[in-house]
Chain A
């Protein structure tokens, strides 16, 4: 069964600090992996999309990595800001299910 597991489930860090969110998946065959940011009560917004051949991709202070061999991805946030408080969802495209969503990591940035 295709699965996407995210960790940690929730995270609290101080403003200005860095953090890394993890995503492990079992989706096969793999097509691409996306990270979304979802503010409370809003729809998800795409941060990055990576294919099999891409190891790292940045979008401002967000950097995503992908290891297709170990089926792991991470999202690194640098110099966190209060506006980074949100849920971050890892989504993998591939396999019979099409898209498989993780449950998300709830990130809180404290001043």
Chain B
């Protein structure tokens, strides 16, 4: 099975500062990769997904961007954080199997002050 690594685990950043969250995947090749945000009391919101190196699709307009510089590396970034960017960020990976089962990373708790 796949193993998803995310870091940092927690992050506290001031408004207007930049952001870089990293996700790496082990145990598979050519995965589909996803960034989700989970706000308190709400379901997971898909932010970006990628089907390959350099291929990024954005699901919602926002202050964030994503990049995939390597097959098993997915990065979430922002040039200037907003208070509303606070949340729990999850990276997920899947392969093109019958189930397209997603494996989730441990998440990053971001607090913007």
Q: Does the CB pair A42–B100 fall under 8 Å?
A: no
The size bracket of the interface on B is 20 to 34
Q: How far is the CB of A11 from chain B (nearest CB, A)?
A: 15
Q: Does the CB pair B42–A41 fall under 8 Å?
A: no
Q: Does the CB pair B107–A42 fall under 8 Å?
A: yes
Does A18 count as interface, using CB distance less than 8 angstroms? Answer: no
A89: B residues at CB distance < 8 A:
43-44
Does A32 count as interface, using CB distance less than 8 angstroms? Answer: yes
Give the one of B41, B43, B90 with max A CB within 10 A: B43
Q: How far is the CB of A36 from chain B (nearest CB, A)?
A: 8
Q: Bound state CA distance, A39 and B4, in angstroms?
A: 16
Q: Bound state CA distance, A91 and B90, in angstroms?
A: 15
B98: A residues at CB distance < 8 A:
51
Q: How far is the CB of B30 from chain A (nearest CB, A)?
A: 18
Q: Which of A38-96 contact B (CB under 8 A)?
A: 41-46, 49, 51, 89, 93
Which residue of chain A has its CB nearest to the CB of B44? A101
Which residue of chain A has its CB nearest to the CB of B10? A41
Q: Bound state CA distance, A83 and B9, in angstroms?
A: 22
Q: Which of B83-111 contact A (CB under 8 A)?
A: 88, 90, 92, 98-107, 109
Q: Bound state CA distance, A32 and B102, in angstroms?
A: 12
B100: A residues at CB distance < 8 A:
93
Interface residues of B (CB under 8 A from A): 4, 6, 41-44, 46, 88, 90, 92, 98-107, 109
19 contacts between A and B (CB under 8 A): A34-B101, A41-B109, A42-B106, A43-B4, A43-B90, A43-B92, A46-B101, A46-B102, A46-B103, A49-B101, A51-B98, A51-B99, A93-B99, A93-B100, A99-B102, A101-B44, A102-B43, A103-B43, A104-B43
A41-B88, A93-B100 known; 4 new pairs, CB 8 Å cut-off, are A43-B6, A44-B90, A46-B102, A46-B103
